[in-house]
Chains A and B, each alone.
Chain A
Amino acid sequence: MTSTLDETPKVYGLLAEFGTADELVHATQSAAAKGFSRMDGYSPYPVGEVADALGFPRSEIGAIMFIGGLCGATFGFVMQYYLNGIDYPLNVGGKPMFSWPQFAPITWELLVLTASLSGVIGLFALCGLPQPNHPLFNVPQFARATRDRFFLCVEATDPQFDLTTTRDFLDTLKPLSVAEVPE
């Protein structure tokens, strides 16, 4: 959305509506083949092939959760040993200061906790959520993206974007409708 200020009217992109997931997959693949890069698909449930066609084959969530979990587990284990073994040595039942079998449960729980929370925070941060308003919500049909329709939006920031030619191209994909999305 880095268009120049004097460009009017401001357009977010063109939104094509499809009736089935397969058509959306096909449309996304065609648009990608045509060279469009700034676009996104919208569907009521995940359609993995659309993300593949958009050139997003693998998400970052796995790496984030792995690192988060590793940090949590390390912190948990070191914390227990430091607090009960070094900072305030506690002798309970004659157990050694370094009682690793008894430090395992909390280490595990903190691993799960930090991995999960970093995954959730990571998801929202990467997706830019919460974002209660979005240009797409200006299009009445788009309410059906959570119901039974599948949408492809070619964004105005795409280098190839042109209201007329892009629209003509979208029409060749035989959508149910094509709408201009106001910014």
Chain B
Amino acid sequence: MAEHHDDHAAEGVAIPTDPVNTAGLKTIALICAAAGLIAFAALGFLNIGSANGYGLRDLSMTYLIGWVFWASLPLGSLFLILVGVMTSASWGVVLRRCFVASVRTLWLVPVLMVPVAASLFVGDGTQSPYWWADRGYEGDVASIAAAKQMRPEGVVENQHKIHDLLNPVRFLIVSGVGLGLMGGLALYTLAVMRKNDEGNDTAAYQTLRKLAGPGVVLWVLTMTVLSTIWVVSVESTWASSMFPIVFGMNAFLTTFSFCIFVFYTVNPDKSDTLAIVKDKFRIDMGTLTLAFTMVWAYASFSQYMLIWAGNLPEEVAYYRKRGDHGWEYLAYFLMAFHWLVPFVALLFREVKTNTKLMRGMCVLLFTVCVADVIWWVLPCVPREAGTLHVPMAVAAVVGVGGVWGYFFARELGSRPALPANAEGQFVATWGHHH
């Protein structure tokens, strides 16, 4: 029984008090930031020549992908902290410091949003990632319908949308309010959590548990609205009430695979920290990863099947665009690697307990999460052959990730890898009273 051996090895191991060494992480982040942003600028510049007058739009749209993708880490971490507290789950304790470091970078989300916000006002809005920023929707329905080759009903719907919600000012107000709520929730959660971590304050722990339920409710409602205006609104007529769930699952999987990867990387196999993280806890983390891929696949398939079967023009266009021009291969890639391969691999506890294999799995899952975000956003407009939007999107993800990763590493390096409070102690001594 391998588990028992591990337990004995961990006997007497105290929770390490040295701060995590993140020097390597910082270097990698800075290299990514420099390389990614330079490549993004260079590709963007080259693309302007071949993009038929939409070079700036490609630039802002690919940047949007990088921003939305990395925004899901601090936001997803906030959710996972709350759920971890609510369910007293072991992964919530093991990965807590990663989650906290990630939530502490939440201020970067509005900062990094600035280019997206600015793009709404460039060139009458035609260069923003969002169709609704286009001032061309102002005026007479019939002529707009003719100019844009749309159904008149579609134009009317779009005009209403622009009137009600989707215009630059309201978009920014709603985003600001949403991020403000998330920020408030994050500040409060972190403050209570610090009290509990440092003083091992049980009253603070009770507050945290009371906060978790309403916090999750607030998070879910806010993110439903934010994911709708940030991502769904790149498409003009498409709306799907399943999408916020797909978005959420992708965000949780991104966060989870990133944090597990970082945790197993900054804490080498022979370290005291990994002696504390026994097989049982590794299996729990792996199983939750499996669950996220399953729910992602369930939500994505149901959404696809229902829209495909319904075949309504305003909806099915979403998948028509994504099943053509080479995007179908990305869809097959997602089916294989966002679901089938991790699903089969993560059924085996040998994979879940082996840090090397699990790190490989996390890199794979993290990559497919990027691919999924690209798939949501990039195919929404047709492009000429030879445009560089795909490498640009990848460069944007790498570049924004480098910037975000640097601040994340700085936060992570400020404290030890595991909390030394009662829950941390529980994890550290688990299995010894047998």
Contacts and interface: CB of A to CB of B under 8 A. Distances in A.
Say if the two chains contact directly (CB < 8 Å).
yes
Interface of A: 93-95, 101-102, 104
B171 interface: no
Contacts of B301: 101, 104
B311 A93 contact: yes
B309 interface: yes
A102 B305 contact: yes
A102 B304 CA distance: 11
Nearest to B308: A101
A173 to B, nearest CB: 23
B305 A101 contact: yes
A101 B304 contact: yes
Contacts of A104: 301, 305
Contacts of A102: 305, 309
B135 to A, nearest CB: 38
A43 to B, nearest CB: 19
Interface of B: 301, 304-305, 308-309, 311
A90 B308 CA distance: 18
13 contacts: A93-B309, A93-B311, A94-B311, A95-B309, A101-B301, A101-B304, A101-B305, A101-B308, A101-B309, A102-B305, A102-B309, A104-B301, A104-B305
A94 B304 CA distance: 17
A101 B302 CA distance: 9
Contacts of A101: 301, 304-305, 308-309
A66 to B, nearest CB: 11
A81 B304 CA distance: 20
A58 to B, nearest CB: 14
Contacts of A95: 309
A95 B316 CA distance: 13
Given A93-B311, A102-B309, A104-B301, 7 more contacts: A93-B309, A95-B309, A101-B305, A101-B308, A101-B309, A102-B305, A104-B305
A104 B309 CA distance: 13
Contacts of A93: 309, 311
Nearest to B305: A101
A67 to B, nearest CB: 16
Which 9 pairs of residues, A with B, have the shortest CB-CB distance? A101-B305, A101-B308, A102-B309, A101-B304, A102-B305, A104-B305, A101-B309, A93-B311, A104-B301
A93 B316 CA distance: 14
B305 to A, nearest CB: 4
Contacts of B311: 93-94
B269 to A, nearest CB: 27
A95 B308 CA distance: 9
Nearest to B310: A93
Nearest to A52: B1
A93 B312 CA distance: 12
A102 B311 CA distance: 13
A88 to B, nearest CB: 21
A102 B305 CA distance: 7
A102 B306 CA distance: 9
B308 to A, nearest CB: 5
B335 to A, nearest CB: 11
A95 B309 CA distance: 8
A94 B301 CA distance: 21
Contacts of B309: 93, 95, 101-102
Nearest to A93: B311
Contacts of B304: 101
A93 B308 CA distance: 11
A52 B301 CA distance: 42
A101 to B, nearest CB: 4
Contacts of B308: 101
A93 B311 CA distance: 9
